[in-house]
Structure 1
Amino acid sequence: MTSLVLPGVYTPQDDTDLLAGALDDEPIQPGSSVLDLCTGSGALALLAAGRGARVTAVDVSRRAVCTARLNALHARVPVRIRRGDLFAPVDGQSFDLIISNPPYVPAPPSRSVPSGPARAWDAGGDGRLLLDRICREAPGRLRPGGVVLLVQSALSGVDRTLHRLRESELKASVVRRRHIGFGPVLRERAAWLRERGLLAPGEDREELVVVRAERPC
């Protein structure tokens, strides 16, 4: 999807590909306003910009912002890229489409804030450190008829995501699913996840889902 990923930046993987498929299903009109939260390498932002959307991409990581800018330059597509915490860099703005592949992996308790590559996946004990914030804040950033596309693991509570979005009167549903084998992070945490009841004994595959939520016109 992208030509460059700097060290410490999340490399596009199955979750990126799954969300890209859902993005491809959206009827993006030229000039539509799109926000890509937790952009990482900028892969999804570039896809939206390539379809004529006006795209703003946000990430808290300096390396991710640098990577996304380099990839936008290489692809020769205009993307407005900002560093900051979720919606802070776009305060007061609204969008036709918000896409996000946020950190969503449940992580054992730690006294330190995730840093380096772990910042791209560690999301607190229930995996919802950013998911709940996005569900709470995104509805107010959507224009009438606007859509949120969000990818996450089933380990981090899909029903909770749907409930939170529906509480804001959005029409929310799961539009894509994919089962994948555990990567290094989940293999290392499998015993802890089983202790917490998030994994069944012997379970060694993760379900990824894309949630789509639409604001009524």
Structure 2
Amino acid sequence: MPGYLVGVNPLVPPGVYAPQEDTDLLAGALSEEPFPPGADVLDVGTGSGALALEAARRGARVTAVDVSWRAVCAARWNVWRARLPVRVRHGNLFDPVHGQSFDLILANPPYVPAPAGRRVPRGEARAWDAGGDGRLVLDRICREAPTLLRSGGVLLIVHSALSDPDRTLARLRAAGLKASVIRRRRIPFGPVLRSREDWLRDRGLLSPDENNEELVVVRAELPC
């Protein structure tokens, strides 16, 4: 993994999503995003809190949210260890910050297409399973995140090419944001994709000779 998260060694208990290639790709985009000290940053689906801590180290006022109580507890412990001012809230995406607005929103949501269709996943699978098209959470983010951005605010979201980046761009642009893919990275299949590789090929989401996954970061800005 490239080094945008070098020095980050968060506590990651069982059942909590550990920082991986997608986290690092989003951290790279965050490192290039200009924001002044005191900017309000929201990290949704914070997991262990790695990205929230990165933003806080740059002087942002950070709120981190996760639907998993295990993740919330892990993130709070990592915040305490780092002695950084991050508020960690339990809840489903934007529910805990209703009525608030932010200069920057970070999102590393579940995005892996799952054979179970659009049934809501449970347990640790909530960190990656995202319905039959991989957009169970992505579409909600595209719908709700623009309403939480301040003028000139930015959304950075990472997900797999398997879950249709063009649809992400179209939905964000329809909401009035300027959106583009700013980072890409190809990685070998992890355990989850390997376990459903045949299903993905049957669905036409993978070609017969494809043996890696492309990750993308979408940047969307609300014009001033």
TM-score by length of 2: 0.95
Matched residue type, 1:47: E
* Pair 146,117 (structure 1): closer, same or farther in 2 beyond 3 Å: same
The residue number in structure 2 matching 1:69 is 76
2:176 aligned with 1:169, yes or no? Answer: yes
Could you list the runs of 4 or more consecutive aligned residues of structure 1 that deviate by over 3 angstroms after TM superposition? 110-113
Question: What letter is aligned with 2:114?
Answer: A
* Alignment of structure 1 residues 1-217 onto 2, 5 Å: 1-109=8-116, 113-217=120-224
* Unpaired runs of at least 5, structure 2: 1-7
Task: Tell whether the 8 Å contact from 1:104 to 1:156 is kept in structure 2 after alignment.
Answer: yes
What is the CA deviation profile of residues 168-201 of structure 1, one whole-angstrom value per residue up to 9, with x for unaligned ones? 1100000000000001110111100011110000
Specify the SS of the correspondent of 1:68.
Answer: helix
Q: Separation in 2 of the partners of 1:214 and 1:151?
A: 15
CA distance in 1, matches of 2:154, 2:222: 6
CA shift in 2, pair 1:98/1:204, >3 Å: same
Structure 1: runs of 5 or more not aligned: none
Residue identity matched to 1:172 = A
Contact 1:33 1:95 in 2 (8 A): yes
Please say if residues 10 and 50 of structure 2, whose CA atoms lie closer than 8 Å, have aligned partners that are also in contact.
no
RMSD (CA atoms): 1.0
Q: Distance in 2 between matches of 1:178 and 1:165?
A: 22
**What is the percentage of aligned positions where both structures have the same residue?**
72
* Equivalenced residues, count: 217
- Residues 38 and 58 of structure 1 are in contact (CA less than 8 Å); yes or no, is this contact kept in structure 2? yes
| 3-state secondary structure, aligned to 1:198 | coil
Q: Residue 213 of structure 1 aligns to which amino acid in structure 2?
A: A
Residue 28 (structure 1) shift: 1.9
